[in-house]
Amino acid sequence: MKYIAEVCAVLMDETERRYLKARDTLETLMGELDGVDTPSHKLTEQVDTATKDYHRAAKEYLSVAFKTKFLGQ
């Protein structure tokens, strides 16, 4: 239990970094999608993948945040 605060901080930083990267990627792709009348199959696949990554990162971030809060950090 000696390093709980340090470990929580590391995990929060890492999950926040992943969340922000996933969010930025999705926003960029959605901007590309908005600028096109008929998107290519590749672009729609990229948007689908980015959406899944964004949701996964959000769930992970929320999980770490709750665990950190539960531990009182």
What integer pLDDT is reported at residue 62 of this predicted model? 96
Q: How confident is the model at residue 1 (pLDDT cuts 50, 70, 90)?
A: confident
Q: What is the pLDDT of residues 19-72, one digit of tens each?
A: 999 999 999 999 999 988 899 999 999 999 999 999 999 999 999 999 988 887
Q: How far is it, in rounded angstroms, from Cα 45 to Cα 33?
A: 11
Q: How far is it, in rounded angstroms, from Cα 7 to Cα 9?
A: 5
